[in-house]
Amino acid sequence: MEKIEGIVLAGQSFEPIHGRVVVEGGRITAVDEIPERDGDPSRIILPAFVNAHTHIGDSVAKEAAVGLGLEEAVAPPDSLKHRRLAAADRETLVEAMHRTLRFMERTGTAAFLDFREFGVEGTRTLREAAEGLDIEDFVFGSENPAVLDIADGFGASGANDGDFTDQRTAARERGVPFAIHAGEPDATDIHPALDLNPDLLIHMVHAEVDHLERVADQGVPIAVCPRANRVLGVGRPPVETLLEYTDVALGTDNVMLNGPSMFREMEYTAKTFDLPSRTVLRMATAAGADAVGLDCGVIEPDRRAALLVLDGDSDNLSSVSDPVDAVVRRATALDIRRVIC
């Protein structure tokens, strides 16, 4: 049993309390409020992050797409990304992905939802890359339904790229989630994506009210990647509006475009959109976990003990007025005392 004391961002509301998180066997067994004099105010304890959308495979081509748009950079099948992936040998791919995952784990990410290219073999390489790490890999496989033998769900590139009816049917039969990119370059693929009754939508940069009414009716969460959208020049996702219709999670998207830092993604989101810090923190933690049923993202009893402990008295965080604002808008990897996954 371990007891971790400090300012705890507890429960679904992330309400700061002077408290103690009790951990036993990798689970949170209690979250207790304690007198302020007995705690350690120099620690800020929050849920470790859940990165709701990544493409870890292109770790082998970091910054290779600088100056390119969506089609040239990442669109299948002939983009720079896909050419670089096809040209790299397996050992190089696995090593590059492993180093990215190690960076993510060290910077507070407990789990990630990855769209993995190249079917069965692509999923296998990502599983191998994650070996020896505590970060949880939720893999959306690609290409044909056979990938669901080893993947956690199916991830479609977009409804304009092909017919994904068989893959959607296979995911439903197996009881695993089906996710799809939609509304990234324009709105033409949003209704066709929704016709597939997905369990998760990615991007929705160009979503309009008629789309979002369907999203609400179908109860589909959305993962947004504001920094990647900015880099690729596809527009600004209407995050404030999306939140009026459904749950919204935060992801960092392609490693070749942006470092997979949830600190950077939160800060960019908080300072770009008119959102409370608690909303952004939920987007970076519980929303991604809830989208696929992961047992983390919130500090409460009976959850997996996936925690991030920050130094509230670091040169960067000392004298902050509100710990939630500090975590979302100011904190960096240099403020981390400990990651518990």
- Tell me how many helices (H) and strands (E) the chain has: 13, 15
Average pLDDT over residues 221-245: 97
What does the mean pLDDT of the chain come to?
95
Q: Check if CATH label 3.90.1720.10 holds for domain 49-292.
A: no
Contact 98, 60 (CB under 8 A): no
pLDDT of residue 36: 73
Strands 178-182 and 200-203: parallel
CATH 3.20.20.140 segments of the chain:
49-292
The yes-or-no verdict on residue 40 having pLDDT over 80 is no
Burial call 270-295: b when 16+ CB within 10 Å, e when fewer: beebebebbbbbbbbbbbbbbbbebe
What is the per-residue pLDDT for 83?
A: 87
DSSP letters, 118-176, are SHHHHHHHHHHHTTT--SEEEEEE-SSGGGGGTSSEEEES-GGG---HHHHHHHHHHT-
Tell me the fold of 2-48+297-340. Urease, subunit C; domain 1 (2.30.40)
Q: Side chain identity at 173, as an amino acid letter? A: E
> pLDDT tens-digit profile of 95-138?
999 999 999 999 999 999 999 999 999 999 999 999 999 999 99
Confidence of residue 81 (pLDDT cuts 50, 70, 90): confident
The reported pTM is 0.96
For residue 38, pLDDT over 60 is answered with no
Residue recorded with tokens 């397996």 = 90
Lowest mean pLDDT among 77-81, 137-141, 165-169, 293-297: 77-81
